[in-house]
Structure 1
Amino acid sequence: MVLKTLTIGGSDTWGGGGIQTDLRTFENLNTFGLTVLTCIAVEEDNSFAIRSLPVELIQEQLQTIEKNFQLDGVKIGLLATVEIVDVVLDFCRRHQGEFPIILDPVLAFKETEEQLATNYIQKIKELFPLVDLITPNRNELQLLADSHAIDTFEEMTAVTQSFTKAHPVKVIVTGGGKVSTDFFRDGEITQAFTGPLSNRTTNHGAGCSFSSAICAYLAHGWTLIESIEKSKRYVYESIENGVVVGDAGNVWHPTKRKG
């Protein structure tokens, strides 16, 4: 029976991140990808803008999934508004413990949206007790922890330890050090995952791919630590095999892999 994994998140019109990358990752790792779309990223004044979907439409998408599918894993990406987070919170409460849930806390706000970002971050934290893992990068951890800039692996380690003491959540923070080092923290358990650092610029979507790969590997029955290790290798290979589409260099894996 085919495994079914759901991504709840935004559409990247440029095709390099968001649900587009999640679906490619799910397919490469032999799970059937389903989607609940929350927002769409478009170009505005030579920058990007996020257009949120109506909350009622997101609820209808989730109800459609619940009615028709037995899920094996869920990855949550960009939710965009506090109201959308509330809808996803209700979904997670209904299904907590039924399948692994991975939260990639995408924090994509312009500087002029400081108050919106603050409210959104506080609401996102309500998801923490309901998910199996969060996967922030260093910048996202800085915002979540209300910390100073995190420039070194040592700073990333210290902030992560302090953060997990304050919040009941397992976390792996990506992007530390001169080599590719990610830091995992689960209560008193800590582990660093170190691997080669790709010099290629085809890394757009790497964070999305990492969290959706963890979701897929968990759906296949691997442990959390095994899923993180496998996903780190998968993302490295995806960057190495990346493609240039338009002006962006996107992660890509041209061959399917067994889970």
Structure 2
Amino acid sequence: MTHNKQYKTISVLSIAGFDGSGGAGIQADTKTISSLGCYATNVLTALPVQNTQGVQTIFEIPGIAIDQQITSIMDDIYPDAIKIGMVHSVELVEIIAKHLRNYTGPVVFDPVMISTSGHQLIKDETIDACKTHLFPLATLITPNLDEVSVLVNKKISTVEQMEEAGKQIVEMGTQAVLVKGGHLQQEELTSFLVRSNQPTEQFKSQRIASKNTHGSGCTLSSAIASYLAQGYSLSESVKQAQAYIQQAIETSKDLIIGKGNGPLNHFFDPKKLILKTV
């Protein structure tokens, strides 16, 4: 009597907002996770009405709905890694933190606080709540330079300041921070992976001339989460994710998607769904 083998997938949960234009938020996360061979699950935290030209309005999702979504997924498709995007209220910070306290897998938190145009997207008390409740539960946080500046209360505008700021953020109680250098106007981009009691690592890449970079922060953080879910070390996950995003930007630079800043090409080389024998 023969039995068919059964297989398990590697699942990554994205807790993030919506982007109807498909470039950022939960859509970017789902595309990234899928293209890297993992199985994507979602919890929706907000419903922005947006396209490649910007956000027109944001509809809130009730806290109870977010709470129940997380419970439902965790009870059924327990994630091998979790990626968290924009958390826009103190209530939401507390709901997510409650669910993460007993979670044992890696958590990548992309603390979306400042828009590309420089506007603060969440209130000061929400930033404080993120520091208090979510930073200690995260394996890695991935702020851009504007967000780093808000976190350390000082404008960060040089590569030297980036590493120093990373050390300050780690002292706030998170395990590791990836300080991303994309907002510095330089041809060679430098990011720093800063961890407590470990040497700082540098990751360098060349700037690509493209207006299609919408959702690059969401994409990078969910790529890191996908590699962590597959069992790579933090350092290797960041390295692989940086290489992935570089190609996703390179292969989208000539695409016309929408009238504004288009998305990355998440599917330049999609991997088959990774299957593990049960």
Structure 2 length as normaliser, TM-score? 0.85
**Inter-CA distance 163–131: structure 2 relative to 1 (3 Å threshold):** closer
Measure, in 2, the Cα distance between the counterparts of 1:94 and 1:240.
39
Match of 1:245 among 235, 257, 262: 257
Contact 1:202 1:240 in 2 (8 A): no
**Inter-CA distance 88–185: structure 2 relative to 1 (3 Å threshold):** same
Instruction: Give the corresponding residue for 1:20.
Output: 27
Q: Residue 123 of structure 2: SS of its match in structure 1?
A: helix
Large movers: runs of 4+ above 6 Å: 109-114
Aligned residues: 254
> Structure 2: 5+ residue runs without aligned partners?
1-7
Instruction: Give the corresponding residue for 1:127.
Output: 134
**Inter-CA distance 63–145: structure 2 relative to 1 (3 Å threshold):** same
Match of 1:32 among 30, 34, 39: 39
**Inter-CA distance 253–144: structure 2 relative to 1 (3 Å threshold):** same
Identity %: 31
Q: Residue 226 of structure 2: SS of its match in structure 1?
A: helix
Match of 1:215 among 219, 225, 234: 225
Give CA-to-partner distance per residue, 1:164-186, whole Å, 9 cap, x none.
23433310011255212111100
Alignment of 1:1-259 (within 5 A): 1-43=8-50, 47-95=55-103, 97=104, 99-108=105-114, 117-125=123-131, 126-147=133-154, 149-175=155-181, 178=186, 179-188=188-197, 189-242=199-252, 243-247=255-259, 248-254=261-267, 255-257=269-271
- Give the drift of 1:43: 4.9
Give CA-to-partner distance per residue, 1:9-41, whole Å, 9 cap, x none.
100122211010000000110001000000011
Stretch of structure 1 that moved more, 161-170 or 61-70: 161-170
Stretch of structure 1 that moved more, 163-172 or 104-113: 104-113
- Give the drift of 1:47: 5.0
Stretch of structure 1 that moved more, 154-163 or 17-26: 154-163
Q: Over the residues paired in the alignment, what is the CA RMSD in angstroms? A: 2.2
Give CA-to-partner distance per residue, 1:57-84, whole Å, 9 cap, x none.
1111011102211211100001211111
The structure with higher relative contact order (CA 8 Å, sep 6+) is 2
Measure, in 2, the Cα distance between the counterparts of 1:163 and 1:3.
30
Measure, in 1, the Cα distance between the counterparts of 2:90 and 2:179.
23
- Give the drift of 1:108: 4.4
Structure 1 length as normaliser, TM-score? 0.91
Measure, in 1, the Cα distance between the counterparts of 2:211 and 2:98.
38
Of the two, which has the highest radius of gyration? 2
